[in-house]
Structure 1
Amino acid sequence: MNTDISLDSNATTTVLPTVVNAVVRALTEVYGNPSSAHSIGLRARTLLTAVRTRARRVVGAGAGKLVFNSGATEGIQTAVLSALCSIKEQRERGLPAGSLLLYGATEHKAVPESLTHWNRVLGLNLDIRTIPVNIDGRHDLETLRRLTPDAALVCTMAANNETGVISDIEGIGAILEGSNALWLVDCVQALGKLPLNLASTRIDYAPFSGHKLYAPKGIGMLYVRSGAPYTPLMIGGGQENGERSGTENMSGIAALGEVLAELENGTVFRDHTALEKLRGLLIDTLSTSFPGIVFNTPLDKSLPTTLNVAVPGLSSADLVDALDAAGVCVSAGSACSAAKALPSYVLQAMGLPEWRTTNALRISFGPATDEATIVEACRRIRHCGEALRRAGMLAGAPESPLNGVVQVAAGKVNSWLLLDAEQGMAVIIDSRPETRERIATILLRHRYEHVIELSTKDAVTWPYSDDRITVGGSRLRRIVIGAQGVCYVLETADGQPRLAFTGELGRAELASVLPSNTILCGGESEATYSTVKVQQASDVDRSHDIHLDRCGLQVLLREQPSTALVDVREAFEHFASAHTDFMEFTVNVPVTQLANALPAWLADTDRTPIVFVCRSGNRSERAARHLRKLGYEQAFHLSGGIALTPPVPLTGS
C-alpha cells in the first residue's frame, strides 16, 4: 500500500506518537478542569503549570507572560489588539504615540488584516505601511530606520512561511532600541528550528502555533514581554490568570508540552547540520529532475527545512498535481483561482520575475523528518520528473506527444485543438483570449509548427479551396451555416461524422446539416458536449446514482467484471502514479481529451459500465455527467477520488 509523503510541513505537520499518547492521557486520566478545586482538577492544574514552565524555558520567556490559546492567528489578534488599545490610551491622555503601523511586506496575511481590522474597530485611523524587503527576502533596514521615529507598532516575522527566509532580528532590534514602538514578531516557523531567548530581545509579542510542530491543531501560545501592554481578546471565566478566558484546551496543552519536552531532550528533532543535509538531498534531486529549475529561497539565509522553487514553463498547479500523483504532497507558493495561479505576494515583494512568482512551489519538511523519508521522497520526485518529461511538460522531445482532439477550457469558454503528431500539424478552433496562452504552451511543448487557426464565426479563415482536409487520419469538413456561422465536422474515412465543433451555434441551425446523433463540441463549458437530438429530461437528469464510493465500486466490479476504470487526469499525472497498484486497473483518457473516446463508447451497444476516477472526484464527475448527458446511463465516477480511496487493487477478490 502506497503512503503519501508530506513535504508541506510549513502548512501543518503530523502528530508525533508520543504526542498522541500525551493527548490520550489528558483525555482519559488528567481530564479535569484546571479551575476546579478537587483532586481531579488539581491534577489538571499541575499538568498546566508544568507545561507552562517548560514552555517558558524553551522560548526563554524570562519574566514575560506565556498565555496558552488556540494558535498563531489568535495570538496575532491579541497582540495587535493589545498594542492598539495602548496606543489609543496614550493618545487620549495626550502622551506621545506613533502614527504608523508597520509590517513586513512578506508577513502572513493574518498580520495586515488584523492591523486593518482593529485600526478600524478602535477608530484610530493610523497609517498602515509595509516595510519593503530586498531581493533576498530580508527587511529593508534603511526604510525601517527612516520610519521608526513615527512608528507605533512594528510587525515582522522570525522566518517566512513561504520561503524560509530568516529575518535579521538583531538588526531590527537595534533599530528599534530607544523607540517607543511596540514590536510583534511572528515566531511560528522559528520554534524547533531557531534558537529562542525572547527575554533577551526587544520583542514585545511572539505568537506560536502547535500544529506547525507536531502538535494538534487548535493549540498555541503567545509570549508577552514583561511590561508590554496587554488587553485580553477573550473575557469571561478568568482562565489563564484573566488573560484568556475559556476553559483551557488541556489535551492540546498536554500535546504541546510533549513537543516541548522532545525539544528539550533532543532525541527526536534534528540539528541544523542534519537538516541542511536533508535539504541538500532535495536540492540535488530537484535540480536533476526538473531542468532549468530556479530556487527562490536564498539558501544561505533561510531555514534548512524550506525550499521555494519554480520550473520554467510549468505552472505551480501542474507541479502540485504531478507530485501529488507520485505520492509527494507539496503546496503552491501562491493562491490559485479557477483559471490561473495568482502571483505570490511574498515573491513579488522580493522583486522576482512574474513567471517565478506565479509558478512558485513550496517544499517544506519538519525538524523530526528522518533521512529515509527524504530519500524516498527524492525517488518519487525523480519518478515525477520522468513522468513530466514523457508527457512533454519538460525540456526535450516528448516520449508520448499529445495527439487527437484536445479541449482547452478557461472559465466558461472552450477552445479546441486537433493535433496530428505525425504531420506536426495543429488546427485551432475558436482561439479565445482566455485560452491563447495555454494553447501556445501546448503547441510549443509538443513541437507543433504547422498551425491553422479556424473560427466558427468566420468562414473566411478556412485556408483551402476544398471543404475537406485530412487531420490525423480523419477528415475535417467545413460547413458554412447562414451568413456567419461555421461548423467543422471531424469525419471517418467513409464520411461518417464523429464530432462537430460548433462554437455558439444552436441545435436548430445544425439540425439540417448534421445527423441527430452527432456529438457536438461546443464553445461554452456548460455545453461542452451535446447532440443535435434534444435530450429528454430523463436522459439529462438521471444522475442521482452517478456517484460510487469504494464499497459501491467493489460491488459493481464483482457483478460486472468487464467494467472499465478510466483515469481522467492528465497524462503526466497518470504516468506519475503508474507505480501504484490502483493505476494498474485503469486506462488513461484525460478529461481534456474525452472527445477522442466518446464515439467508441457511444457505439458500444452492450453499454459496458465505465467508472471514471481522478484525484478528488471533480474531473471524474464531470466526465461521467458528460457521458450521461449523451445517453450513456452506465457511466459512474469514484466519489471523493483517489485521495479518499486507498491505492490498492479494486477487484472483487
Structure 2
Amino acid sequence: MGVQEPRCSDEIYLDANATTPVLPAAVGAVQEVMQELYGNPSSTHITGLRARHLMESTRQLARQVLGTDSGHLIFTSGATEGIQTAVVSALSAIQKDSNRLNKPRKLLLYGATEHKAVPNSLKHWNALLGIDAELLAIPVNHQGLLDLAFIRDHAADALMICTMAVNNETGARQDLRAIEEAIRSQNPQCLWMVDCVQALGKMPLALSASTIDYAPFSGHKLYAMKGIGMLYVRDEAPFSPFIAGGGQEKGLRSGTENLPGIASLKPILEALLDPEHQCFRSLDTLVAFRAQLAATLKDAFPGLVFNNDFGVSVPTTLNFAIEGFASKELLDLFDAANIRVSSGSACSSGASRSFVLDAMGLPAWQSEAAIRLSFGPAMTQAELDAACDRIRQAADALKFSCRHPQQLRPEQALKGLVQLKSGADCCYLLVAGHKAVIIDPVAPLVERLVQTMSCQHLEVMAILDTHGHADHQSAAATLRQRLGLTDAELDPLGWPAAAPQGPLALPCLSLGELTLSRMATPGHTGDAIALLLAKGDTIQAAFVGDTVLHGGLGRTDFASSDATALYSSLRALAQKVPAKALLLPAHDYHNLLFTSFEAEQRNNPLLADALSLVATMDAAAFAARKTALDQALACPQGASEIRCGVTLGELHLRPEQELQVADLARFEAPHLIDVRESHEHHLQHLGNDDSAPLSRLAQYLLDHEDDAPLICYCRSGSRSQVAAAALSRLGRQAYHLKGGVALSR
C-alpha cells in the first residue's frame, strides 16, 4: 500500500499570534511598489523621491497609530532587531556611565513571561559589553500580570527593565501605567523597554505620553509582510545604531530600506486609523467572537480548561488545555481537521511545556497540554462560524479512538500492547480478548484509561506498578476506585496474591496465549519488579520500571536504593530476557518509546560492563561507579521532575534515512507504517490498514519480527522521525518520509 495523502479542504487558520496572512490591500501595495515605485528612497531623482514619500507617509501614519508625536520611529527588519537595538543602546550607554556601571548591585529586570528574545538578548549583550549585571525575572501572578511590588523593591538597582504590553501565549494585557508608576517612583533614570508586538491593533497606545524608552513592533503579526518592523525610541533615551553602514534612516539604521515591507504596513495603519473601515472588527465584536469560540470549545471538549483569564487578556487569544491530552496530540488532531493552532510561541521550538504557564503557577499538565488559539482583528463572522463547525468535527472524530468522553465508537477492537504517556511518564495497557492489565498508571491518564475500558468493554484483570515511584504518586488506587475494583488480596504494587506459577517459573497472569510474569528486581528501589510478557516460554517484552532507562539506569541514591542489588538484578534480568526483546521503562525522557538490552549495551558503558560475560566488573565496582554517576548527575535544586541518572545526546537520523516519496521505489517489500491516530484517519477519510500510531508501535514490532525495511510516515514528518529514530536505535533498518504527507502532494 502506498502513502495516502490527506483530502484537501479549506484551511482554518487560528494561529495569528505566530503570524498572519498578508491582507489583500497590503499585497496590492507591495505589488505596486515592486512594479512602479521600485526606486531607492535614498536616491535624489524623481523615482527615489517617490519611494521616499511612500516611506515617510507610512512613518507619519505609524506615529498617529502609536501616539508618537516625538521621538524616533525607525523601520527595522522586525521585533527581534528592535529588541537588539534597544538593549544595545541601553547597555552601551550604561557601559560609558561609571556611576551606574560601578553600582554595588546592578540588575537587568525582565518579565518572567517575556518572549525569549528579550532575556536571551540581555544575557548576550550583558556578557559581550562587560556590564556584569545580574539578570532577574519579575514574577507574575496566576493571571500572568507582573508583580508590581517586586518591581518597586528592585527598580532602584535596575539598569534596564524590559516588560511587554501583551503576552504572545496568553494574551495577558499588562497595566503599563501601573508598571510605569512602580518603576519611576523608585528610579526615574532606569531605561524601560516595552515589547509591543502583540499590542498593535489590539489596545490603544500613546507612547509619547509615557516614559517608555523603547518599543519594538513587528509587521507580520498584523497582516503585513514578514521582514518589516518598527522601533520607537524616546527623545531622551540613549541610542546606538545596531546596524552601521550607509547612514540610511538618518544614520539610525543603515541598509537600503525595505520599501515593499514598508508599503505593506501602510494599508494596515490606514485601517487602524479609520473607525469606519470595514477590514478590522471593533473591540466589542472581537470579545463576542472569543465568547463564541470559547463556548464551542467547552461544548466540544468536556473537561477543557482555559489557561488565560479573559478579564485581563486581549480578546484575540485563547489558551486552553484538555486533561489526558498532550499538546502534540491536540495539535495533530486540529491539523488533521485542517485547523491551524499552536502549542504556544512559534519561536519556542522544541519546548515540551510552556514556560509562560509555568511562571503563572499553573499545574504541570496544563502547561504540557497547552494549546494557543489566536485570531486577528480581520476575522469575519463567516470565518468564525466555519472555525466552530470544524472544531466540532475534530472533537467528534475522537470517538473513533476512544478519546471523546461522551461519544465512544471505536472502529477497531483494541488488542495487544498500548503505550500511553503523560510528559515523561509511561503507562502501559495490555489487552487480550476482553481482558486488560494496566501497568504504572499516572493521574493525568486516569480519565483516558477509564474511557478506554468503557469504550472497548474491557475487564481489568490487574492494575500494577513496577515500583514505588519517587517522582509521582501512583494512580492505581484512584483508578481501581473509578473502575469499581476491590483492593482485596493485592500486594502493595497491585499484584494478586493468588497468582499461580507460570511457564517461566514465576508468578504470572494469563491473558489468552500471553502470560505476564512477576520478577523481583530490587536496586532502584527495594520493591522494584519487572513484568515479563511471554508467548509460551518466549519472552517478547519486559516492563522494567526505572531499572533500565533509555540511555541510563535508575537512580540508586534513594533511601530504599541499593546499587549492589541493582547489579544483581540487571544480570539476572539479562539472563532471563532475550537481548532483542523490548524493554519498556516507566519513564521516557527522550521520546525513544522502547529499548532492548542489545541497544542499551551499545549505548551504556556501565550496563555493558555489568553484563559482560567475562565479568570485568563485580558488584562493588559497579556500585562505586553507579554512586559516582548519580552524584555527578544530581538534579538541580528545585527541579520539577526527577530524571537524574540519564544522559543521552540528541539523536539524529542519517541523511539517507530521510526519504522523499520518489525514494520509496528503491525498496523491495518494505513495511510502510502510518503512525497517525485513528481520529486523524477519520478526519482525512483514510483507511487504517497500515496504521501503527506511536502508542502501538511496540505491538507492531511484536507482530512483525522479520527484517524488512520499516518506512514510517505521518502528517508532517515529526512523529515518523521519532518512530524511525527509536527503531533505528534498536538496530532496525528504519526510515521516515521527510515532511510527511503534507509535503508529498
TM-score, normalised on structure 1?
0.78
1:98–1:181 contact (8 Å) kept in structure 2: no
| Residue identity matched to 2:356 | V
| Residue identity matched to 1:640 | G
1:565–1:586 contact (8 Å) kept in structure 2: no
1:290 and 2:301 equivalent? yes
User: Are residues 381 and 421 of structure 1, via their aligned partners in 2, closer, same or farther at CA, if it must alter by over 3 Å?
Assistant: farther
The aligned residue for residue 500 of structure 2 is 465
1:192 and 2:253 equivalent? no
User: Are residues 619 and 529 of structure 1, via their aligned partners in 2, closer, same or farther at CA, if it must alter by over 3 Å?
Assistant: farther
The aligned residue for residue 446 of structure 1 is 452
The aligned residue for residue 540 of structure 1 is none
Could you tell me how far apart the structure 1 residues matched to 2:107 and 2:516 are? 68
Between the two proteins, what is the percent identity of the paired residues?
41
The aligned residue for residue 535 of structure 1 is none
Alignment gaps of 5+ in structure 1: 456-460, 533-542, 647-653
The aligned residue for residue 741 of structure 2 is 642
2:532–2:539 contact (8 Å) kept in structure 1: no
Describe the superposition over 1:34-75 as per-residue Cα deviations: whole angstroms up to 9, x where unpaired: 222333333322222222222222212102211011111111
The aligned residue for residue 24 of structure 1 is 31
Could you tell me how far apart the structure 2 residues matched to 1:639 and 1:95 are? 54
1:323–1:384 contact (8 Å) kept in structure 2: yes
Could you tell me how far apart the structure 1 residues matched to 2:732 and 2:121 are? 53
1:300 to 311, 335, 357: 311
Could you tell me how far apart the structure 1 residues matched to 2:161 and 2:140 are? 14
User: Are residues 521 and 135 of structure 1, via their aligned partners in 2, closer, same or farther at CA, if it must alter by over 3 Å?
Assistant: closer
Shift of 1:592: 2.8
Counterpart mapping for 1:87-126 below 5 A? 87-91=94-98, 99-126=106-133
Could you tell me how far apart the structure 2 residues matched to 1:412 and 1:316 are? 13
Could you tell me how far apart the structure 2 residues matched to 1:227 and 1:465 are? 83
1:258 to 237, 260, 267: 267
Could you tell me how far apart the structure 2 residues matched to 1:183 and 1:94 are? 17
Shift of 1:631: 12
The aligned residue for residue 539 of structure 1 is none
Describe the superposition over 1:49-105 as per-residue Cα deviations: whole angstroms up to 9, x where unpaired: 222222222212102211011111111111122222333334359999994433222
User: Are residues 158 and 597 of structure 1, via their aligned partners in 2, closer, same or farther at CA, if it must alter by over 3 Å?
Assistant: closer
Counterpart mapping for 1:387-406 below 5 A? 387-393=397-403, 395=405, 398-400=408-410, 402-406=414-418
The aligned residue for residue 367 of structure 2 is 357
Counterpart mapping for 1:107-506 below 5 A? 107-177=114-184, 179-265=188-274, 266-333=277-344, 341-342=352-353, 344-393=354-403, 395=405, 398-400=408-410, 402-407=414-419, 417-420=429-432, 422-423=434-435, 425-426=436-437, 428=439, 443-447=449-453, 448=460, 450-452=462-464, 464-467=499-502, 473-476=512-515, 488=532, 490-491=534-535, 499=540, 501=542
State the secondary structure of the residue aligned to 1:154: strand
Could you tell me how far apart the structure 1 residues matched to 2:129 and 2:706 are? 69
Q: Which moved more, 1:249-258 or 1:400-409?
A: 400-409
1:42 and 2:49 equivalent? yes
Q: Which moved more, 1:543-552 or 1:391-400?
A: 543-552
Could you tell me how far apart the structure 1 residues matched to 2:111 and 2:576 are? 65
Shift of 1:315: 2.3
The aligned residue for residue 536 of structure 1 is none
2:419–2:696 contact (8 Å) kept in structure 1: yes
Counterpart mapping for 1:504-653 below 5 A? 520-523=581-584, 525=592, 528=595, 549-550=660-661, 567-569=674-676, 571=677, 574-581=678-685, 583-584=686-687, 587-597=690-700, 612-620=712-720, 638-645=737-744
Shift of 1:277: 1.4
Could you tell me how far apart the structure 1 residues matched to 2:299 and 2:737 are? 35
Shift of 1:626: 8.7
User: Are residues 436 and 350 of structure 1, via their aligned partners in 2, closer, same or farther at CA, if it must alter by over 3 Å?
Assistant: closer
Shift of 1:597: 4.6
Could you tell me how far apart the structure 2 residues matched to 1:351 and 1:23 are? 44
User: Are residues 328 and 360 of structure 1, via their aligned partners in 2, closer, same or farther at CA, if it must alter by over 3 Å?
Assistant: same
| Residue identity matched to 1:291 | P
State the secondary structure of the residue aligned to 1:191: coil
TM-score, normalised on structure 2?
0.69
User: Are residues 373 and 443 of structure 1, via their aligned partners in 2, closer, same or farther at CA, if it must alter by over 3 Å?
Assistant: same
Alignment gaps of 5+ in structure 2: 1-7, 454-459, 468-494, 524-528, 549-568, 586-591, 600-653
User: Are residues 511 and 261 of structure 1, via their aligned partners in 2, closer, same or farther at CA, if it must alter by over 3 Å?
Assistant: same
Describe the superposition over 1:531-583 as per-residue Cα deviations: whole angstroms up to 9, x where unpaired: 99xxxxxxxxxx99876645677x89xx99x99975322x3xx31452334x2
Could you tell me how far apart the structure 2 residues matched to 1:436 and 1:250 are? 56
Q: CA RMSD in A?
A: 4.6
Could you tell me how far apart the structure 2 residues matched to 1:354 and 1:600 are? 36
Shift of 1:487: 9.0
User: Are residues 229 and 620 of structure 1, via their aligned partners in 2, closer, same or farther at CA, if it must alter by over 3 Å?
Assistant: closer
User: Are residues 466 and 127 of structure 1, via their aligned partners in 2, closer, same or farther at CA, if it must alter by over 3 Å?
Assistant: closer
Could you tell me how far apart the structure 2 residues matched to 1:75 and 1:27 are? 25
| Residue identity matched to 2:47 | I
Counterpart mapping for 1:35-74 below 5 A? 35-74=42-81
| Residue identity matched to 1:589 | A
Q: Size of the alignment, in residue pairs?
A: 607
State the secondary structure of the residue aligned to 1:446: helix
State the secondary structure of the residue aligned to 2:145: coil
Could you tell me how far apart the structure 2 residues matched to 1:359 and 1:27 are? 44
| Residue identity matched to 2:314 | L
User: Are residues 586 and 45 of structure 1, via their aligned partners in 2, closer, same or farther at CA, if it must alter by over 3 Å?
Assistant: farther
The aligned residue for residue 485 of structure 2 is none
Shift of 1:305: 0.1
Could you tell me how far apart the structure 1 residues matched to 2:182 and 2:729 are? 67
Shift of 1:353: 3.1
Q: Which moved more, 1:385-394 or 1:131-140?
A: 385-394
User: Are residues 203 and 144 of structure 1, via their aligned partners in 2, closer, same or farther at CA, if it must alter by over 3 Å?
Assistant: same
Q: Which moved more, 1:409-418 or 1:64-73?
A: 409-418
| Residue identity matched to 2:401 | A
Describe the superposition over 1:268-324 as per-residue Cα deviations: whole angstroms up to 9, x where unpaired: 111111111111111001111222222221112210101122222322222222222
2:581–2:596 contact (8 Å) kept in structure 1: yes
State the secondary structure of the residue aligned to 1:375: helix
Shift of 1:380: 2.2
